């Protein structure tokens, strides 16, 4: 007899800022919880904010980051808190909003879909974001 053991769905998150390996929030929020880490590309526009972290907005430029895979969606609870996102709040009331986007490997092949945190253009502008034309950000 074969037991039907449910397996939780993997949760994929594209990170481009303080949640990347070797950045400020990786150890606290992701290290040891992820089951895979892969360099990846998403599309948007990336800005450095004066507060010391980046913001991604909708756009069509390459953003360099990492695809982190977690064993289940419960990781989103802590990431949502960090990013000041609540699904039942208006978009304008969240610091970041979480959307599912397509993510690619460094050769441009689709890796599927992942969650990513975006700021609105208005918020980014109000914070005085500086465009990162190369699509890369580091707090180091």
CA distance 48 to 131: 7
Report the length, in residues, of the chain.
Answer: 140
Is 47 a member of any domain? yes
Host domain of residue 80: 11-131
- How far apart, in whole angstroms, are the C-alpha atoms of residue 134 and residue 79? 25
Over range 11-35, report the average pLDDT. 98
Does any domain span residue 71? Answer: yes
In a domain, 5, yes or no: no
pLDDT at 8: 56
Domains in the chain: how many in total?
1
Q: What is the mean pLDDT of the chain?
A: 94
Q: Could you give the CA distance from residue 62 to residue 52 in angstroms, rounded to a whole number? A: 21
Residue 15 lies in a domain: yes
Q: Which of 4, 25, 5, 2 is nearest to 13 (CA)?
A: 25
pTM listed for this prediction: 0.93
pLDDT single digits (tens) 65-122: 999 999 999 999 999 999 999 999 999 999 999 999 999 999 999 999 999 999 999 9
The domain that holds 29 is classified in CATH as 3.10.490.10
Residue 67, domain member (yes or no): yes
Comparing C-alpha atoms, which of 61, 42, 48, 11 is closest to residue 127? 48
Going by their DSSP bridges, the two strands 110-118 and 97-104 should be labelled as: antiparallel
Tell me the pLDDT tens digit for each residue of 26-73. 999 999 999 999 999 999 999 999 999 999 999 999 999 999 999 999
- Residue 54 resides in a domain: yes
């Amino acid at each position: 007899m074969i037991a039907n053991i449910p397996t939780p769905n993997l949760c994929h998150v594209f990170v481009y800022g303080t949640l990347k390996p070797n950045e400020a929030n990786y150890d606290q929020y992701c290290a040891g919880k992820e089951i895979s880490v892969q360099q990846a590309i998403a599309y948007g526009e990336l800005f450095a904010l004066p507060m010391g972290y980046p913001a991604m907005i909708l756009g069509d430029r390459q953003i360099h980051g990492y695809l982190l895979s977690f064993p289940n969606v419960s990781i989103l609870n802590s990431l949502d808190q960090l990013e000041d996102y609540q699904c039942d709040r208006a978009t304008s009331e969240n610091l970041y909003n979480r959307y599912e986007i397509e993510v690619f490997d460094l050769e441009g092949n689709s890796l599927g879909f992942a969650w990513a945190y975006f700021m609105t253009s208005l918020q980014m502008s109000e914070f005085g974001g500086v465009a990162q034309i190369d699509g890369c950000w580091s707090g180091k």
